[in-house]
Amino acid sequence: MTTQGMPAAGVVATYSGETVPPRVTFKDVRQRDLQATKQVHIIDPADKYDLVKGVFSDVMNRLKAGSNSQALNLYFGHARDTYEDVFNKLGTDLPTIANQFGTVESITFSRSAAQLTLSRIVEGAKQIFTIQLMRGQDGIWRIDSM
């Protein structure tokens, strides 16, 4: 991955790998070298988009198959109880309802949080709703709220 860094200064940075420790050296007014090194985590936005969308798709596929308990494995603990109750109340209608969630319109994300925006057409009107995901301390992305 290459970034322009500071174009006015003619600085271009090229990174390889997922985590790199670039060192930056500056000169102060007395021409002494000042250095700083910081870990940089590199990730392709397309890969993260696919990863987050994949969690949502996996949950939907599990719900459509009637595998509620398997779908709940992809929810955070605090949300799991709430959605388990909802899924149980929906019973055998849940696979049909899961098929009506709509399509992913956009995904925004940071290193540890993501929001999917879904849309569907109901009686000729477009409806939008969001799903929040968080990356756990174990590195696994799970649904936080819908």
Quick: pLDDT tens for 67-100: 989 999 999 988 999 999 999 999 999 999 998 9
Q: Which residues contact 88 (CB under 8 A, 6 or more apart)?
A: 68
12-18 own/partner pairs: CB under 8 Å, 24+ apart: 15/40, 15/42, 17/42, 18/42, 18/43
* Residue 1 scores a pLDDT above 50: no
pLDDT of residue 15: 65
Residue 70 sits at the vertex; the CA angle it makes with 65 and 75, to the nearest 5 degrees, is 120
Condensed to tens digits (0 to 9), the pLDDT of residues 27-50 reads 778 888 878 777 776 777 788 888
Mean pLDDT of 118-142: 93
What integer is the mean pLDDT of 118-129?
A: 93
Pairing status of strand 103-109 against strand 113-122: antiparallel
Instruction: Sketch out the chain's domains with CATH numbers.
Output: 2-41 (no CATH), 45-145 (3.10.450.50)
Do residues 95 and 63 make contact, with C-beta atoms less than 8 angstroms apart? Answer: yes
Neighbours of 114 (CB within 10 A): 24
